[in-house]
Amino acid sequence: MGRKEVLDRVEAATSHIVPSSLPSATPSFPKYANPIERFLRALEAAGGRWFAGLEKAGVAAAFENILAETGYDRIFWDDPSILEVAGLGGEGSGLPQGDSAARSLLQSRHPPGKFLTPIAVESVPRTSDQLSNLTITVSRGAWGIAETGTVVEESGPAAGRVLPAFAPVHVALLSAQRIVANSAELFQNLKPGESGSSLTLVTGPSRTADIEQTLIVGVHGPKRFYVILTS
């Protein structure tokens, strides 16, 4: 019903107009001599925290820092390959399928006492109870934008929409090679339709200024947002 009516009205209203052609050149966006530096500064300005220039061992240490800072003792993820990138195990084979497998893997890689608090790791929590008990979540950032300090989080077979959005603390692992200068460059690299159903540009923690324009960090989404930049 509505379709024909709306389209008829729209077309009747515009039938007297000759459509003009869209411009082929888009306005320019800023470039940076040191995009990584710009990325980190912009992320900081948006209230995000970061660890940068890290090899595998450094990544594990960054996680220890985050655990200590937040006081949490558990990390959650959708993507099992996170373990390998994070220097927490993996090697591409024998990926942890569930709670106990992951825990034993972690313990085997890291001697007891190295973490300030014992870590239990779980994958893919989905019930309301599980989600209510989320602590730190980790995902892999697909891209970074230097201009704004933004991380692009893409959904896919091993990355859902929920964990990075609902956890009180979120950590994005990002390769320094994936940082582009600006959003125009990002959009040239992203092929819409080839990606998953959801793509989110994340810049810092969740925030609001709805009461008296007072900036409050952490209203619905993560209260803390970390980026671990791998080289």
Partner 1 sequence: MQFRILRNTSDALSDGPLQANLKHALGRSLTARAAAVSEVENWEELRSYARHIKKCTLRDLGRYLRQMEEQVQRQGGRVLWASDAREAVGHVLEIARTHQASTAAKSKSMLTEEIQLNAALEDSGIRPVETDLGEFILQLAGQIPSHIVAPALHMSRAQVAALFADKLQMEATDDVRELTETARRRLRREFLKADLGISGVNFGIAETGTVVVVENEGNARLSTALPRVHIALMGIEKLIPRWMDLPVFLKLLTISATGQRITSYVNLLNGPKRREEPDGPEHFYLIFVDNGRSAILKDDRKRQTLSCIRCGACQNVCPVFQSIGGHAYESTYQGPIGAILTPQLTTASDAPEHPFASSLCAACREICPVKIDIPEVLLILREQAVESRTGPRSERLAFRLWAFAMTRPRIYRLGEKLIRLAFRLGAGGMKRGPLAGWVRSRDLPAPAMESFRSWMAKTRGGRNGS
Nearer to partner 1, 1 or 33 (CB): 1
Q: Work out which of 44, 69, 201, 231 binds partner 1, going by CB under 8 A.
A: 201
Q: How far is the CB of 58 from partner 1 (least distance, A)?
A: 27
Question: How many Cα atoms occupy the beta-carbon half-sphere of 151 within 13 Å?
Answer: 27
Footprint of partner 1 on 90-129 (CB under 8 A): 124, 126, 128
**DSSP code of 102?**
H
Instruction: Work out whether 34 is an interface residue with partner 1 (CB under 8 A).
Output: no
Q: How far is the CB of 215 from partner 1 (least distance, A)?
A: 9
* Residue 31 φ then ψ, to 5°: -115, 160
In sequence order, what are the beta bridge partners of 59? none
CA 194 to CA 2: how far, in whole Å?
A: 31
Nearer to partner 1, 59 or 185 (CB): 185
Question: How many Cα atoms occupy the beta-carbon half-sphere of 210 within 13 Å?
Answer: 7
CA 23 to CA 51: how far, in whole Å?
A: 41
Regarding beta strands 179-180 and 143-145, do their DSSP bridges make them parallel or antiparallel, or are they unpaired?
A: parallel
Binding mask 202-231 for partner 1 (x = CB under 8 A): xxxxxxxxxxxxx-x-xxxxx---------
Nearer to partner 1, 7 or 68 (CB): 7
Structure tokens at 80: 């099992």
Footprint of partner 1 on 8-27 (CB under 8 A): 9-11, 13-14, 17-23, 26-27
**DSSP code of 177?**
G
Nearer to partner 1, 111 or 193 (CB): 193
Q: How far is the CB of 231 from partner 1 (least distance, A)?
A: 25
Q: Give the range of 64-72, 90-98, 108-116, 159-167 binding partner 1 by CB under 8 A.
A: 159-167
Residues near 218 by beta carbon (within 8 Å), at least 6 away in sequence: 168, 205, 206, 207, 224
Footprint of partner 1 on 59-88 (CB under 8 A): 78
Instruction: Work out whether 156 is an interface residue with partner 1 (CB under 8 A).
Output: yes
Footprint of partner 1 on 160-199 (CB under 8 A): 160-162, 165-166, 182-184, 186-188, 192-193, 195-199
Question: How many Cα atoms occupy the beta-carbon half-sphere of 181 within 13 Å?
Answer: 10
